[in-house]
Amino acid sequence: MDIKIKDVAKAANVSVATVSRVLNNSGVVTERTRLKVQEAIESMNYHPNATAKFLRSKKTMMIGVIVSDINVSYYAEIVKGIENMAYSREYKVIICDAHNQKEEELGYLELLLNRTVDAMILVSMTGSISDELIGELADKGYNIGVVGKCIDHAGVPCIFTDNVKFSMNVVHHFIEQGHRSIAFLSGYPDALDSYERLEGYMKALREHRLPFRQELIENGDFNEKGGYHAFLRLIGKGLPFTAVYSANDEMALGVYRACAEMGITIPKDLAIVGVDNNRISRYITPRLSTVDQPKYAMGALITEKLIDQMNENQFKEQRVFKVDSELLVRESSRFAK
Amino acid sequence: MDIKIKDVAKAANVSVATVSRVLNNSGVVTERTRLKVQEAIESMNYHPNATAKFLRSKKTMMIGVIVSDINVSYYAEIVKGIENMAYSREYKVIICDAHNQKEEELGYLELLLNRTVDAMILVSMTGSISDELIGELADKGYNIGVVGKCIDHAGVPCIFTDNVKFSMNVVHHFIEQGHRSIAFLSGYPDALDSYERLEGYMKALREHRLPFRQELIENGDFNEKGGYHAFLRLIGKGLPFTAVYSANDEMALGVYRACAEMGITIPKDLAIVGVDNNRISRYITPRLSTVDQPKYAMGALITEKLIDQMNENQFKEQRVFKVDSELLVRESSRFAK
DNA sequence: TTGAAAGCGCTAACAG
DNA sequence: CTGTTAGCGCTTTCAA
């Protein structure tokens, strides 16, 4: 059906090896021969079969990206960074959206094992893919990169931000603004991000010798709706608090909605800070204070490292990258009560 | 290095053909043999090499999606619909983001020609890939689907909404609210969507016997910034108008910003309607009236049709899908001046 | 019901 | 500098 390398070789009066050489710019070919071959390729409209090339060369130039939910803007931004860097290095990316199902995440690993992709980037913190598993795979020679946490295993590039640190900054900021009773809205409890942000929250309270009260903690799910309900439960307890640290912006949007319904004015009655610098945070009124993580850059960097490592066939000098996140103070937390 | 089908065959004391049969659930295999093979597969941790399978079976179970810019939420939503349907049919999707470069769009077509993907979905209206080219490729047996416009060629499933119709609805709505002088903010001029929305705008004016004034048209670029500047140019002309139809929500956000800077109050001083039902449109104050296109559903539907067509090896009964879009009237256009 | 063997289209030794 | 040829690992006739 399609025209193949053999046909081109025949037409150009050379061997398939020569055609392959000009296609891949490998080996040496006379300028005259090259021209002859290129002409044949052109005129016959030849497109080398990529699947045959994959098999033979043992490379697909594809990278898989496993995310738990591409609808979450945090993940989407990281993926954009990955995609762009991959593109500039001539790699394609396959999005593996787990639709929030842990089993799906594991299933996508098959693409790595069966050689559909040359490497896999994990951008998902649900823990369905354990550190041990990642380590084992890396030992077997599979290329894996991790965004959002640190894996203690040679050859696995990792990039993440310091959740504890920026969470402490958020609490410091609240305290500076005069708040003393600060609630914390967590994401789903088993997420590493939830845990570390809570840790930072507690640590900052301790530093300021402020009491930690379990009742001021509620679990959401990192979504608008979950934030809404979690906040309602918080209010329902009847405890006084004047500020809320929401583990991400999505949930903060839920808090905005609940406040609107209950006649609570932000920031006069309640100050709030989120995490992610979701685009909406800049457009909502009052603008939401938030923590900006360099999502795009993180995606780009991990991809670059992973590709370098694959091609240089040796571990990169630096394997673990901890990047800083910045607290953006906007109107939602600017005026102390 | 890796373990292959031959090894499994040896271990299970059968031929490779038999292993292949149990892997693919094809042919007939005794229950006893099947078990024996599956056990071997399991214990040896065998993962069939996908690239070899691709080559031999002439299928990759991958679909490419060419979008001009994945940052545009309209495209991103469509892609989500595509991804989900593809997933449910066991296809993977490769995002081909052209980063707004026309040449990149064309370049990605290579993935279709070189058999990296089984099909390609075009979600890009910049026109870099001509209708003629699409037709030719379809004739050669390549599987192509188009979102956002109608291609007049057998075997090319298309899905799109009626830009003219909903644009007329927008103008009707403005007129109902008492507006008589309505400006139009176009996207980039060569986009089909821009053209058709302008057409609807003009048609509605004509129906109501309202004059069409070229000076009330400005070109943006479908982005916030472009909308901002286009609106400033519009204002700069000094002509009176009380409503703006923005060809998409992004540009409308730019208008909001310009209005805020100039002390123009929406909707009291100026009514505005956008297109896309961008998520931000619901969170901004006042909430932006907009046209909701069933983006997700469009992506899902085209994917389903394309996959069906590929596998049934015949054209589907229905090839062209025109879906309706709904005008969502919110505060930005609710009160007549 | 199972096995042997012929490729899928390409790359990369190796030989000349 | 160019050509010959042996696979890459799998699926799929065809024969047994």
Q: Do B113 and A80 touch (CB under 8 A)?
A: no
- Which of B116, B136, B223 to mutate against chain A (most A CBs within 10 Å)? B116
User: In this complex, which of A83, A95, A115 lies closest to B51 when CB atoms are compared?
Assistant: A115
Predicted confidence (pLDDT) per residue in A327-336, tens digit:
999 999 987 4
Which H helix or E strand runs over A290? strand A289-292
Nearest to A92 by CA among A60, A62, A49, A51: A62
Q: Please report residues of A whose CB lies closer than 8 A to that of B285.
A: 284-285
Instruction: Provide the token pair at B115.
Output: 């058999």
pLDDT at B28: 84
Can you tell me the distance from the alpha carbon of A117 to that of A109, in angstroms, rounded to the nearest whole number?
10
Percentage above 90 pLDDT, chain A = 87
Specify the nucleotide whose C1' lies closest to residue B9 (CA).
C3
Instruction: Provide the token pair at B221.
Output: 């670029």
Residue A1 has pLDDT above 70, yes or no: no
Q: State the Rg of chain A over Cα.
A: 26
**A315: confidence class by pLDDT, cuts 50, 70, 90:** low
Residue A2 has pLDDT above 90, yes or no: no
Residue A83 has pLDDT above 60, yes or no: yes
Amino acid symbol at B276? D
pLDDT at B238: 92
Which H helix or E strand runs over B184? strand B182-186
Predicted confidence (pLDDT) per residue in B175-205, tens digit:
999 999 999 999 988 888 999 999 999 999 9
Q: Do B283 and A253 touch (CB under 8 A)?
A: yes
Q: CA–C1' span, A51 to C7, in Å?
A: 15
Residue B71, helix vs strand vs coil:
coil
Instruction: Kindly report which amino acid residue has its CA closest to the C1' atom of nucleotide C2.
Output: B18
Residue A75 has pLDDT above 70, yes or no: yes
Q: Do B87 and A99 touch (CB under 8 A)?
A: yes
Produce one character per residue of B222-260: b if its CB has 16 or more CB atoms within 10 Å, e if not. bbbebbbbbbeebbeeeeebbbbbbbbbbbbbbbbbbbe
Phi, psi of B9 (to 5 degrees): -60, -45
Percentage above 70 pLDDT, chain A = 98
pLDDT at B126: 75
Task: State chain B's mean pLDDT as an integer.
Answer: 94
pLDDT at A53: 97
pLDDT at B317: 78
Task: Please tell me chain A's helix, strand, coil percentages from 3-state DSSP, rounded to the nearest 5.
Answer: 50, 15, 35
Shortest alpha-carbon distance between residue B159 and chain A (Å): 23
- According to DSSP, the residues that pair with B326 across neighbouring strands are B292
Of the CA atoms within 13 Å of residue B60, those in its CB half-sphere come to 31
pLDDT at B315: 66
Can you tell me the distance from the alpha carbon of A246 to that of A259, in angstroms, rounded to the nearest whole number?
14
Q: Do A116 and B92 touch (CB under 8 A)?
A: yes
- Over range A63-72, report the average pLDDT: 92
Q: Do A99 and B116 touch (CB under 8 A)?
A: no
CB pairs under 8 A between A and B: 95
pLDDT at B4: 94
A266 Rama class: left (phi>0) / alpha (psi -120 to 50) / beta: beta
- Over range B204-214, report the average pLDDT: 96
CA nearest to B278 within chain A: A280
Residue B34 has pLDDT above 80, yes or no: yes
Q: Do B283 and A279 touch (CB under 8 A)?
A: no
- Which of A103, A109, A115, A140 to mutate against chain B (most B CBs within 10 Å)? A115
- Over range B40-59, report the average pLDDT: 96
Residue A203 has pLDDT above 60, yes or no: yes
pLDDT at A336: 45
Nucleotides of C under 7 A from a protein CB: 1-5, 7-13
Nucleotides of D under 7 A from a protein CB: 1-5, 7-13
**B336: confidence class by pLDDT, cuts 50, 70, 90:** very low
Are the beta carbons of B244 and B185 closer than 8 angstroms? yes
**B337: confidence class by pLDDT, cuts 50, 70, 90:** very low
Predicted confidence (pLDDT) per residue in B214-229, tens digit:
999 999 988 999 999 9
Predicted confidence (pLDDT) per residue in A117-140, tens digit:
999 999 977 778 999 999 999 999
Q: Identify residues of A whose CB sits under 8 angstroms from chain B CBs.
A: 1-2, 47-52, 54-55, 58, 60, 62, 70-71, 76, 80, 83-84, 87, 92-97, 99, 110-111, 113-116, 141, 253, 279-280, 283-285
**A313: confidence class by pLDDT, cuts 50, 70, 90:** low
Q: Do B55 and A60 touch (CB under 8 A)?
A: no
Shortest alpha-carbon distance between residue A115 and chain B (Å): 6
3-state secondary structure B73-107: HHHHHHHHHHHHHHHHCCCEEEEEECCCCHHHHHH
Give every strand in the sheet of B271-275, ordered side by side: B217-219, B182-186, B243-246, B271-275, B289-292, B326-328
- According to DSSP, the residues that pair with A159 across neighbouring strands are A147, A321
Task: Please tell me the least confidently modeled range out of A209-223, A304-318, B119-133, B225-239.
Answer: A304-318
Instruction: Kindly report which amino acid residue has its CA closest to the C1' atom of nucleotide C7.
Output: B56
Strand C atom within 7 Å of A17 CB: yes
Residue A192 has pLDDT above 70, yes or no: yes
Predicted confidence (pLDDT) per residue in A28-57, tens digit:
889 999 999 999 999 999 999 999 999 999
pLDDT at B314: 66
Specify the nucleotide whose C1' lies closest to residue B8 (CA).
D9
Omega prior to B157 cis, within 30 of 0: no
pLDDT at B299: 98
Q: CA torsion A180→A186→A190→A193, rounded to 10°?
A: -80
Predicted confidence (pLDDT) per residue in B238-296, tens digit:
999 999 999 999 999 999 999 999 999 999 999 999 999 999 999 999 999 999 999 99
Give me the helices (H) in B28-183, please.
31-44, 50-57, 73-88, 102-108, 110-113, 131-139, 163-176
Residue B313, helix vs strand vs coil:
coil
**B316: confidence class by pLDDT, cuts 50, 70, 90:** low
Can you tell me the distance from the alpha carbon of B270 to that of A271, in angstroms, rounded to the nearest whole number?
32
Can you tell me the distance from the alpha carbon of A280 to that of A64, in angstroms, rounded to the nearest whole number?
28
> What pTM, to 2 d.p., does this model score?
0.92
User: In this complex, which of B50, B115, B283 lies closest to A116 when CB atoms are compared?
Assistant: B50
Specify the nucleotide whose C1' lies closest to residue B36 (CA).
C2
- Over range A165-189, report the average pLDDT: 96
Instruction: Kindly report which amino acid residue has its CA closest to the C1' atom of nucleotide C8.
Output: B56
pLDDT at B1: 62
Are the beta carbons of A256 and A284 closer than 8 angstroms? yes
Q: Do B83 and A94 touch (CB under 8 A)?
A: no
Strand C atom within 7 Å of B51 CB: no
Question: Could you give the angle at the alpha carbon of B29 between the alpha carbons of B27 and B32, nearest 5°?
Answer: 165
